[in-house]
């Protein structure tokens, strides 16, 4: 138990350090963008006095390190600042959109994880057979296509030609069923993108375990192939499977920007793209930091779960 607590403490410390480095990169990257934010917001026709006053209001007259300390201090106190576009608190904008993104990621995860595990187990059970070859071909095809291409193909066949689902996520009638119906196409796009990675890792992990001597002993004892997979192989292959599942869940949350833009889904990715177009820099910084924190947290979770499920990793030599 002590080893696990030490592991968690070390991973959390590493995560905090990584997040701080990412915050520095985000702030410096946004600060290095060409053009003047005050001029972009006020317009080219603004007088120099108005621009200078607005720069003082934004704190742009301060040195770079003082602006970073003020920005980081506000975030540590739960204050992301105020949007330049609509003058609303950024926390209200961000966390409302974040809940929508998490709903989409949850729906995609509910669709993708069981499907990927089932396909991976079946592919390992019937490895080198017709089913295995077909599944591998389909998953390689799915990996090869970018998200926006998969999204437009689904819109063409499931919305334009058949009319089964709405092409825009925001076109629902506002009811719970309407919202779910509007989320199906974006969630299906994300599912097709991530299920291939999870399925292939599940298959590879199980095939590697199936070559072990104790699996041969189980076969000699007359255990059925499905029993060998579920009772003997799968528990010993959980570490890499959990790792890839959690990392793909992180992608479902962080990598939704393109999908949300294609389907005009009111999530955090769409908010960030809109803020980039409006030069609403504080919102862009907040969205980027939240995406980075989410990915780092889920990455640490994957590392911890993979280590806990494989006790040998707790006693490295």
The mean pLDDT of 287-300, rounded to a whole number, is 87
pLDDT tier at 114, thresholds 50, 70, 90: very high
What is the predicted pLDDT for the residue at 171? 59
Backbone φ and ψ for 82, nearest 5 degrees, come out as -120, 140
Tell whether the model's pLDDT for residue 316 goes beyond 60.
Answer: no
More confident residue, 58 or 170: 58
Between the ranges 9-23, 161-175, 208-222, where is the mean pLDDT highest?
A: 9-23
Domains and CATH numbers, the chain: 99-315 (1.10.3720.10)
pLDDT tier at 115, thresholds 50, 70, 90: very high
pLDDT tier at 35, thresholds 50, 70, 90: low
The mean pLDDT of 198-226, rounded to a whole number, is 84
The mean pLDDT of 53-79, rounded to a whole number, is 82
Mean pLDDT computed over every residue of the chain:
83
What is the predicted pLDDT for the residue at 303? 78
What is the predicted pLDDT for the residue at 163? 81
pLDDT tier at 21, thresholds 50, 70, 90: very high
Tell whether the model's pLDDT for residue 317 goes beyond 60.
Answer: no
Structure tokens at 264: 């005009």
Strand partners, 89: 82
pLDDT tier at 204, thresholds 50, 70, 90: confident
Contact yes or no for 266/170 (Cβ under 8 A): yes
The mean pLDDT of 41-67, rounded to a whole number, is 77
**DSSP assignment of the chain, as one string?**
-HHHHHHHHHHHHHHHHHHHHHHHHHHHHHHTSSS-HHHHHH-TTS-HHHHHHHHHHHTTTS-HHHHHHHHHHHHHTT---B-TTT--BHHHHHHHHHHHHHHHHHHHHHHHHHHHHHHHHHHHHTTTSHHHHHHHHHHHHHHHS-HHHHHHHHHIIIIISS--S-SSGGGS-SSHHHHHHHHHHHHHHHHHHHHHHHHHHHHHHHHHHHTSHHHHHHHHTT--HHHIIIIIIHHHTHHHHHHHHHHHHHHHHHTTHHHHHHTT--SHHHHHHHHHHHT-HHHHHHHHHHHHHHHHHHHHHHHHHHHHH-GGGGG--
What is the percent of the chain with per-residue pLDDT over 90, rounded to a whole number? 3
pTM of the predicted model, to two decimals?
Answer: 0.82
Tell whether the model's pLDDT for residue 279 goes beyond 80.
Answer: no
pLDDT tens-place string over residues 155-180: 999 888 888 888 877 656 667 777 88
Contact yes or no for 98/290 (Cβ under 8 A): yes
pLDDT tier at 148, thresholds 50, 70, 90: confident
pLDDT tier at 205, thresholds 50, 70, 90: confident
The mean pLDDT of 186-194, rounded to a whole number, is 89
The mean pLDDT of 31-45, rounded to a whole number, is 69
């Amino acid at each position: 138990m002590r080893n696990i607590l030490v592991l968690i403490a070390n991973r959390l410390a590493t995560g905090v350090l990584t997040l701080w480095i990412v915050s520095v990169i985000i702030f410096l990257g946004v600060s290095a963008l060409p053009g003047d934010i005050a001029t972009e917001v006020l317009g080219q026709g603004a007088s120099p006095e108005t621009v200078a006053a607005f720069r003082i209001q934004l704190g742009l007259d301060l040195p770079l390190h003082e602006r970073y300390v003020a920005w980081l201090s506000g975030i540590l106190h739960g204050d992301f600042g105020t949007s330049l576009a609509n003058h609303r608190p950024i926390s209200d904008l961000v966390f409302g959109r974040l809940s929508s993104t998490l709903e989409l990621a949850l729906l995609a995860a509910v669709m993708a994880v069981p499907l990927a595990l089932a396909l991976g187990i079946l592919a390992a059970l019937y490895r080198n057979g017709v089913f295995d070859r077909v599944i591998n071909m389909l998953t390689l095809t799915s990996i090869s296509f970018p998200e926006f291409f998969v999204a437009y193909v689904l819109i063409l066949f499931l919305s334009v030609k058949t009319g089964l689902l709405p092409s825009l996520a925001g076109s629902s009638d506002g009811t719970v069923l309407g919202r779910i119906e509007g989320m199906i196409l974006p969630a299906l796009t994300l599912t097709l993108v991530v299920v291939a990675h999870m399925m292939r890792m599940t298959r590879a992990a199980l095939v590697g375990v199936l070559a072990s001597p104790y699996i041969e002993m189980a076969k000699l004892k007359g255990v059925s192939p499905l029993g060998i997979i579920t009772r003997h192989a799968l528990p010993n292959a959980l570490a890499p499977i959990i790792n890839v599942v959690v990392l793909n869940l992180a992608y479902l949350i962080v990598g939704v920007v393109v999908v949300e833009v294609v389907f005009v889904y009111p999530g955090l990715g769409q908010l960030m793209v809109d803020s980039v177009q409006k030069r609403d820099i504080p919102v862009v910084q907040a969205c980027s930091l939240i995406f980075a924190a989410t990915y780092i947290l889920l990455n640490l979770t994957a590392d911890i779960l993979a280590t806990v499920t494989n006790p040998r990793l707790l006693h490295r030599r």
